[in-house]
Structure 1
Amino acid sequence: MAQVDDTDEEVAFDTVVITGSRLGNANLTSSSSVAVLDGGEVDVRGVTRVEDLLGTLPQVASGQGSTSGVNGAQATVNLRGLGANRTLVLVDGKRLPYGSPINVAADLNQVPSQLIDRVEVLTGGATAVYGSDAVAGVVNFIMKRDFEGLELDVQGSIFQAGNNNSDIERVLSDYGQPNPDSIFDGESGDINLVAGKNFDDGRGNITAYAGYSKDNAIRWEDRDITACPFTTRDGGTDFGCSGSGSMPRLTRYSRTGAGGFNLVVDEATGELRNYNQSTDAYNFSAGNYLQRPRERYTYGAFVRYDLKENMEFFMDFSVTDNKTEAQVGPGGLALGRTSSINCDNPLLTSEMLATFCDAGSVYVDNDGVPRAPLRIGRRNMDFARVNNFHLNTQRIVGGIRGEIFGGVDYELFAQHAKVDYTELLLNDVSTSRVTRALDAVTDPDTGDIVCRSVLTGEDPNCIPFDIFSPNGITRAASDYVTMPTLRVGDTEQTVIGGTLSENLDRWGVVSPFASEGVSAAIGFEYRKDSLSLTPDSSDTTTSQRVAVAGEVPVYELFTEIQAPIIQDMPFAEELTLSAAYRYSDYYDTTGTQSTYSFGASWRPISDLRLRTQYQRATRSPNPIELFAPQEIGRGTLSGQPNGLKDPCAGDFDPNTTTPEPFRSLEECMRTGVTADQYGTILDSSDNIPTLAGGNPNLDPEISDTWTGGFVYEPSYLPGFVASVDYFSIEVDDFIGMVDPSETLGQCLDTGDANYCGLINRDSAGTLFLISGESYIQSTLINTGLLKTTGFDISASYGFGLDRFGLNNAGDMKVTYAATILDELTSQSLPGSPALDCAGYHGDACNNPAPEYRHRVALDWTRDKLSTIFSWRYISSVDQYSSAPTAVNELDATSYFDLAARYEVSEKLRLRAGVNNIFDQDPPLTSLSGYGGGETDGRGNTYPQVYDAQGRYIFVGATINF
């Protein structure tokens, strides 16, 4: 990896002309920092997933990829931690379409890794040059073209985990969980074919490619670090195993208030006993994926042809077919999904009838049915919930480019892309069906136990769901309450654009103090992004299912200029100013916008170049944000110190184990609790109702980016380059939703009507996900701000070992790239407290934001052998919570990788390597800390940030015919 910041010829290692600009003059330099990964490193490191390649850059925060749970089939890149939808992804300067109708961030699976020549990463706003979405920056994949011949590339890889952490083995043993053995799994195979040929005496070239890749799954239960969900025990000093209590392994019956209880049916005796979280909770690690299975086909072609002198036709065509599967534990009936039981239910044992339907609890509903308050939690143990995702992407780009009028470069192009999306969810539980199946009665004519809905004719197919005896659930009943759900949709993108650029020196537009003229570009672009998503009607427990459709068209005009002001003068070997402007008209949605940038590059002496840039960037809301219907979905609340979710839930009955409410009556009344309800409110489950959806009145996000730094290339040390750059990015009118926990907390603390007005409790004062009566409003709005500041540091030194008297020992290159994160602040609403997550993880901060990351690489090349040894370092991060947990700090982590490539002949290259050589375990954290300090980790860590799968081993070969 190299951090390329200049274009001087004396640099000894490979340099690439990168300007972050539409101006193609190689003599101009960029006033922004641009990181470059070249294709040679892609090859020798054995990278097959593009997100893994980008993840080695310290500027890249955790994105979505193969370790993600149920977040779709996409792989995304997230620059600066500002969100993947604020990073613009290009292929050869042309933008990729929305990744899917559920996540508009570009899907990196569309990029054929075998054809990557280099990757350019420009961080900071770049909307004036590239258009909307480039708030955090731009990732531009430059592809290999003009290939001649036939090349076959194959690779196999596998993960290996020792599972020998003695501390984890002790924890698993204490809770009766098995410790997995050392294992090889997660196998992957890739085969790619590239063929190319010049034709018509070299006037044209066609390069075609096809590829197939397959990844096998890695399951949580096959790693000691993920074999059970961690919680905290012994007052916050040690890990323990936990699990789901809202959907436990056994049926759980719960009631708070007077006469409250928390019971299960004993498996051995069939009688009621007290619920025990340690033994009765469901270990949902079983079946979850640490690496999702994936199968992908890619094929496409690059074509160019010189129609005549100074006019070239070009066309790109690509198809990607990607299938993957996300799997989580079995679904079921969560506590809070039911609020009562019918007391004429013949499935109730006499013990249950006496306990659940005691005289003080029974009431008669509007239909004359005797009922009693009861919350039931039950895991449907037969099948895991599986999401099957299928994305098929087709993209075509075509146009002409060349030179006119003796020096004006031009390009006209059009592109169209379509992504077809299918999602099939299997084995989830239907809330309405399980409610009907629990409402069992005796048929007065036959004496059989049937659903009440069968007698009324509402649902003649209903089968009673007997969760009241250890083995009462039949296969037919299980099949009835589960149902597949399907979502289908697509995204489409159409772009038409053109650019004219010229060096104006032939017109005399030259500074009197410079030898080179001003370069300028003008252009236009029309773009329309659209999407649609259609779900079937369902009411399953896993996710919100809403239909959405819409389009966002825009007309744009842009211009750019770079002006050498001074050249070849004392203390000003070069001073260049740059500026860019873009006018955008989103005529159907957000109206007109202007974005612009100003930059300067100054080389006072040949060894030193100073640079700075200011950029105003915008991001217009996408169709999901604008048009998604507002419906009740699922959200989460941070746990309270009393162990409950709702801070106003609980009772004062000394005969129950239910805690007292954590908040006072005065505070709870701010959230809609009445004096009569206080002390009788049932706690919500892990999921609470939220009113989520789009907002057609959204405004664009606006960001201001400042960068400044220097590049040092000492003439006394040929081959050495170092750079330091400061960055500051602030995004105002940030499009997002206020977290339900923050809404509730701010209302309780301050009584602010802006927050309290978003809370709607049901008639009993609860926040249950059982009807549309209660919810916390979390629709999208233009909220507060995001801000990040820090420093990028890079250095590279390339030299021949003969410089040190080691003749014929080859060449060496040392590269260093680091990011120092000073600030990563978010503010949900103007005037609300700002949250700085730099150096923290968990709770409101979600994924870790380390204050320092680096990658050091040592490249050695001798004759036909090339090797890379690299060191990846992530600094420690603290937990963003005052509540004690077993691990309040995630330790600093180092990973070491080694790869080699050997050219057996001109037609055969072999490669092999190991990433995470020492099988370094990731830092671990509790799923929910003592006192409720929660994290958003997956599998007791953050596999998006750390190497959670173990040691990665690969071998590959490239054969030329």
Structure 2
Amino acid sequence: MTQKQGRTIKAGLLAGTATFATMMAMAVSTSAYAQDSMATEGELEEVVVTGSRIPRKDLVANSPVNVISAEEISIGAVVEIDRVLDGMPQTASSNGPTTNNPGNSQANVNLRNLGIARTLVLMNGRRFVGSAANGVVDLNNIPPALIKQVEVVTGGASAVYGSDAMAGVVNFILKDDFEGVQVNGQYGLSQEGDAERYNVDFTLGGNFADGRGNVVIYGNYLKRNQTLAGERDFAAVQLGETTDDQGNPIFVPGGSAGIPQGRFSGNGLNHFIDDNGTPVAYDSDMHAYNFAPVNNLQLPLVRHAITGIGNYQLTDDINLFAEMTYANNRIQSQLAPTPFSEGMDVDLRNPYMPEATRALFSTLDTDGDNLVRFTVTRRMLEAGPRLQDDDNKLFRYVIGLNGEVGNGLNWEVFYNYGKTNQAQRQDGNIVISRFIQGMLVNPDNPNECLNPSNGCVVLNPFGEGKMTEEMINYLKIAATNLTAVTQQQVGANIAGNLFELPGGEVGFAAGVEYRKDKAETNPDTFLATGDIDGFNAGAPTKGSFDVKEMYLETIVPLLSGVTGAQYLGLEAGIRFSDYSTAGGVTSYKIGGEWRPIDDVKFRGLYQRAVRAPNVNELFLGFSNGFPGADDFCVDDPSRTAAERAFCLELGVPETLIDGFEQENTQIQALFGGNPDLSEETSTTWSIGAVYTPAMVPGLTLTADLYSITVDNAISSLGGGLRSMIDACNQVLDLSNVYCQALTARREDGQLENVPQYNENIAKFTAKGVDFSVAYNFDAFGGNFDLKLLGTRLLEAETQASPISAINDCAGLIGVRGICGRANPKWATTTRLTYSIEDFSASLRHRYIGGVMDERVGLGSRRREDTLVPDIPAVHYFDLGLRYTVNENLSVFTNVDNLFNKKAPIMGAGVAGQLNTDAGTYDVVGRRFTFGFRATF
């Protein structure tokens, strides 16, 4: 870390701490003594459980809620909170420490595999500012050691919390009454001696003013070291799929068509230049570049964070509270050197052109001007790997008042402000215009550029390692993206009991909120104009929206304490939201519970949720990306005569149509916002039961059937490039909007810059059964605590657009295809902890059910033609051991992936950059962690 970086971090920490201290000092100077309001002994205190804002004594909500305790986080030695959430059966894998490409330098949560933008993240029941223009929260900013518990409610919850809660809500509840000093330290590494993690955090808290106030300060430093894919055998070579002489599928070393020798395609030629300067016909099965080993297996991260929480009782009935969060995360992604590819004129007078190459290319110079048009493709090894360094700074402040009024009603008013600044630096990009400029020479002096501006030097792309330092310095550019995201929220609510019916007290909650989200991304000139190859270019993004909301919830007890109904009640809620962009929208919920006897509770809810488009979806400046898809113009045995003829209309040259090959599985596409987008809507219903048998104390069983359908979902044109190609293939008609988009091709017929702008056209459905078991009992002189969470996925349908087929991805995987990451039908997480005196041992088992290659499951490929049609079920075991040395010190050691289960190798059609699904499966291997906890 440089001195400048250190000063910036210290300034942020000091400014945040000073602001927090000032707020609390103001509170102390104007306050009066408050009496203790804790519940009397034996009385169960009313609490708010995520899924409803109404305080209640029944901790089992009508929405299925999973609670992750502070003990679970401690036992797992968790320093990255997304690792805990990804271990839940209800979540699909998302970007995190081992997802280098694709990845966005953040850690996110994806409930029900409905997308990270459809899961709402809260802290202490209030919104947390997003870390990008899409509004999605980076979980790296959540302080793990300060978490009291995490409550996860799955299913639409917009009536309670507003937009984005379509798949569910994750609410991080922090400790706000800590007293004393606690210091945690730990060190971890893999069995291979790499993938190191260093973490230290402290929590300092105490009461003041005769117990009227409490302040908690938390600080954290985390360093996660880089590990490259080349350090693991399964990831060191990118695999490709082909067939042997008998037609059987086999793995072969694969990779990218962007090779370091320099390849020239067009005008009937497709040749690279070998070490002797001889042009050699390119064969994609023989000459692919292995980009895998220099990609990250584990992304490096450095985190500095501080959080402050304070409460002060101003009067008997009024409490002042405040929160402050500062976090600085620096994460670096690394990719193989830039695979430059661009159409241009190649000058035959280039002094570096080998004679054999010049002789071949000269046959194409029909007009004698010494210029031949080619697509030049070259892996720029001399420029080094592409590095993306993201420096993310987050500031969040909350201040408010809460208290009680008569009849036990609780009220709260608050102001919530958050801001994220991201400075992204990209190294390794190649300037396209300069490359083109450097390929044109001065006829009078071929050692000079025809246009000498920008310090132009004549380039030598003819062979591996031929670019000099001077050439690379002329071509290479460091690009920057600057992003700022702000969120302001003001709210007021009141909740409690209104009056009493024969069945009990009628509970309610009502509130109003105002929120404004604003985001702006400013790329530098090279990125904004698209004049680079390397990382994704993009135009500036700038936009904002605000929303005014009001909501009402109620719980109505109908019967209580009668035969057949120990309790019968209804629950309902409604929220109206007025968006400056989407207009007025309404969400609601209705359901209830029935407890026929004390041991059994039945529950159910029907909910309508909405999600308004975020700033990115509305106002994204045109940017490029590289989705995976297959062009039906490729000349293989399955291509029909009609497809061949139509591909000529699309722009594939007649000289190349026979033998036409797709250069890369990833195709460059253009993405952009749409200010005319409307809201997404979803319907969710769940019905389930909770069983707590009196004959088995300590045992709780739950089961819930759920269904979530998202309509009018925001997706790119055609529902994605793959779906758009499939839709065009069904009609083969240039009047079709999707076929028109596929005319975006280079001169050599390769798809490039295919438009993929946002539309409200997709539909998703998720159905399944959640179940859980919790059992706590004493045996063998100690205590056993068993917890099991599980899910059975029944349906995971996706329809990319109204004209696209409906695909059920339950039990399938397709990292680059339709189904995304693994969608196992069965998934469970079980933890068994045994504690005796000062020692505890805990074993966690994660079960990920088997999945099938989507090409087989969706019928586009025969099983016998697929090398790995099925990925078997995977079992992961994690062991944690703890020993309390004395009342002030405990030590622990953890072994994750105890049996060193290897990540499954997948078929090339579904494999990601690591030949596996790096978000779902463990790619690091067995890991050890050693640490301590000291209290004072």
What TM-score comes out, normalization by structure 2 length?
0.89
Deviation string for 1:378-401 (max 9, x for gaps)? Answer: 111121000000100000001000
Provide Cα deviations, 1:507-533, integer angstroms capped at 9, x if missing partner.
Answer: xxx333x1x210011100000011000
Amino acid at match of 1:847: R
How far off its partner does 1:191 sit?
A: 0.6
Matched AA of 1:44: I
Q: Which residue of structure 2 aligns with residue 829 of structure 1? A: 801
Which residue number corresponds to residue 4 of structure 2?
Answer: none
Name the aligned partner's letter for residue 407 of structure 1.
G
Partner residue of 2:33?
none
Paired residue for 1:887, among 864, 868, 887?
Answer: 868
2:273 alignment partner, one of 265, 283, 288:
265
1:783 corresponds, among 726, 738, 761, to 761
| Distance across 2 between alignment mates of 1:740 and 1:848 | 20
SS of structure 2 residue aligned to 1:186: coil
CA contact (8 A) 1:465 1:478 kept: no
Post-superposition offset of 1:15: 13
> What's 2:823 paired with?
849
- Residue 518 of structure 1 aligns to a residue whose secondary structure is strand
Q: 1:431 to 1:727 in 2, by over 3 A?
A: same
Task: Give 2:365's match in structure 1, choosing from 362, 366, 370.
Answer: 362
Q: C-alpha distance in 1, partners of 2:478/2:759? A: 33
Q: Which amino acid aligns with 2:573?
A: A
Query: Paired residue for 1:685, among 663, 676, 682?
Result: 663
1:75 match: 107
Q: Give the CA deviation at 1:768.
A: 4.6
Please say if residues 149 and 195 of structure 1, whose CA atoms lie closer than 8 Å, have aligned partners that are also in contact: yes
Query: How far apart are residue 349 of structure 1 and its match?
Result: 2.7
User: Residues 728-779 of structure 1: CA distance to partner in whole angstroms, max 9, x if unpaired?
Assistant: 000000001122222122112224724224333458582454xxxxx43210
Q: Secondary structure at the match of 1:487?
A: strand
2:520 to 517, 523, 532: 532
Cα distance in 2 between the residues matched to 1:916 and 1:256:
54
Distance, in Å, in 2 between the alignment partners of 1:589 and 1:795 is 44
Q: Does 1:760 align with 2:743?
A: yes
Deviations 1:590-637 (A, max 9, x none): 100000000111011111111110010000001111111335x24345
Displacement, 1:100? 1.9
Deviation at 1:80, TM superposition (A): 0.3
Residues 351 and 447, structure 2, Cα contact 8 Å, conserved in 1 = yes
3-state SS in 2 of match to 1:153: strand
Match of 1:44 in 2: 75
* Distance apart, 1:939 and its partner CA: 0.4
1:205 aligned residue (207, 214, 219)? 214
> How far off its partner does 1:236 sit?
4.7
Which residue of the other structure, out of 261, 264, 274, is the alignment partner of 1:250?
A: 261
Distance 1:764 1:49, change over 3 A: closer
Matched residue of 1:728: which SS? strand
1:238 aligns to what?
250
Taking the aligned partners of 1:690 and 1:265, their CA distance within structure 2 comes to 29
Tell me the secondary structure at the aligned position of residue 760 of structure 1.
coil
How far, CA to CA, are the matches of 2:605 and 2:933 in structure 1?
43
| Structure 2 counterpart of 1:142, one-letter code | I
What do residues 407-437 of structure 1 show as CA deviations (whole Å, max 9, x unaligned)?
3210000010000111000012122211111
* CA distance, structure 2, for counterparts of residue 390 and residue 155 of structure 1: 24
* Separation in 2, partners of 1:667, 1:448: 42
- Contact 1:347/1:440 (<8 A) preserved: no
> For residues 465 and 661 of structure 1, do their structure 2 counterparts lie closer, same or farther at Cα, with a shift above 3 Å needed?
farther
Distance 2:226 2:430 in 1: 24
Aligned to 1:500: 494
Question: Partner amino acid for 2:232?
Answer: R
**Uncovered stretches (5+) of structure 1, i.e. residues with no partner:** 1-10, 161-182, 640-645, 651-658, 770-774, 929-933
Alpha carbons 1:683, 1:766 under 8 Å: kept:
no
How many Å separate the matches in 2 of 1:813 and 1:150? 28
Matched residue type, 1:374: F
Whether 1:604 and 2:596 are equivalent positions in the alignment is yes
2:810 alignment partner AA? A
3-state DSSP class of the match of 1:52?
Answer: helix
Q: Which amino acid in 2 is paired with 1:195?
A: L
| Aligned equivalent of 1:151, options 160, 182, 187 | 182
State the 1:23 CA deviation.
Answer: 0.7
**CA distances 1:825-846 after superposition (whole Å, capped 9, x unpaired):** 1111224210111111112212
Q: Distance in 2 between matches of 1:703 and 1:647?
A: 34
Q: What are the superposed Cα offsets for residues 642-688 of structure 1, whole Å, 9 maximum, x if unpaired?
A: xxxx33255xxxxxxxx689343466538843798485486553254
Post-superposition Cα deviations, 1:893-919, rounded to whole Å, max 9, x if no partner, equal: 001111011111110011111010111
Q: Of 551, 564, 571, which residue of structure 2 is paired with 1:571?
A: 564
Give the counterpart letter for 2:290 in structure 1.
Answer: N
Distance apart, 1:369 and its partner CA: 4.4
Helix, strand or coil at the partner of 2:903: coil
Q: Give the Å deviation of 1:68.
A: 2.0
Do structure 1's residue 109 and structure 2's residue 140 form an aligned pair?
yes
Would the aligned equivalents of 1:250 and 1:280 in 2 still touch at CA under 8 Å? Answer: no
Q: Quick one: which amino acid aligns to residue 154 of structure 2?
A: T
Distance in 2 (alpha carbons) for counterparts of 1:576 and 1:834: 38
Shift of 1:466: 0.4
In 1, Cα distance between equivalents of 2:747 and 2:360: 22
- Show structure 2 runs of 5+ residues with no match: 1-41, 856-860
- The equivalent of 2:887 in structure 1 is 906
- Match for residue 130 of structure 2? 98
Distance 1:288 1:94 in 2: 37
1:223 matches 2:232: yes
Distance in 2 between residues matched to 1:303 and 1:691, nearest whole Å: 47
Task: State how far apart, in whole Å, the 2-side matches of 1:250 and 1:759 are.
Answer: 30
Q: Which residue of 2 aligns with 1:549?
A: 542
- Name the SS for the 2:159 alignment partner: helix
SS, match of residue 455 in structure 2: coil
* Counterpart in the other structure of 1:815: 787
What secondary structure is seen at the aligned counterpart in 2 of 1:940?
coil
Aligned partner of 2:576: which letter? Answer: Y
Measured in 2, the distance between the counterparts of 1:762 and 1:63 equals 32
Equivalent pair of 1:728/1:787 in contact (CA under 8 Å) = yes
- After TM superposition, give the deviation of residue 350 of structure 1 in Å: 2.6
CA drift at 1:478 = 1.1
Q: Deviations over 1:764-804 (max 9, x none)?
A: 582454xxxxx432100001201110010111111111xxx
CA–CA separation in structure 1 for the residues paired with 2:422 and 2:401: 32
How far does the alpha carbon of each residue in 1:58-92 deviate from its partner, in whole angstroms, 9 at most, with x for none? 00111111112253321100000001110000111
- Report what 2:390 is aligned to: 389
Query: Separation in 1 of the partners of 2:744 and 2:404?
Result: 67
**Matching residue of 2:437:** 436
SS of residue in 2 equivalent to 1:41: helix
Q: Provide the residue aligned with 1:700 in structure 2.
A: 679
Map 1:129-528 to 2 at 5 A.
129-160=160-191, 183-233=192-242, 234=244, 235-245=247-257, 247-255=258-266, 257=268, 260=269, 262-267=270-275, 269-275=276-282, 277=284, 280-334=287-341, 337-338=342-343, 340-358=345-363, 361-363=364-366, 369-382=369-382, 383-442=384-443, 444=444, 447-454=445-452, 459-469=453-463, 471-505=465-499, 510-512=500-502, 514=503, 516-528=504-516
1:53 corresponds to which residue? 84
CA–CA distance in structure 2, aligned partners of residues 306 and 222 of structure 1: 56
For residues 471 and 32 of structure 1, do their structure 2 counterparts lie closer, same or farther at Cα, with a shift above 3 Å needed?
Answer: closer
2:639 corresponds to: 662
Deviation larger for 668-677 or 132-141: 668-677
| Native 8 Å contact 2:221 2:303 kept in 1 | yes
Q: Secondary structure at the match of 1:479?
A: helix
What is the SS of the residue equivalent to 1:662? Answer: coil
User: Does residue 124 of the first structure (1) align with residue 150 of the second (2)?
Assistant: no
Distance 2:663 2:90 in 1: 38
Q: Percent identity?
A: 31
* RMSD between aligned residues: 2.4
Deviation, structure 1 residue 858: 1.0
Matched-pair contact (CA < 8 Å) for 1:671–1:748: no
Residue in 2 that maps onto 1:626: 618
Does the C-alpha gap of structure 1 residues 409 and 671 become closer, same or farther in structure 2, counting only changes over 3 Å?
farther
Could you tell me whether the CA contact under 8 Å between 1:673 and 1:765 is conserved in 2?
A: no
Instruction: Count residues with an aligned counterpart.
Output: 870
Instruction: Pick one of 108, 121, 134 that aligns with 1:89.
Output: 121
Provide TM-score, normalisation by structure 1: 0.87
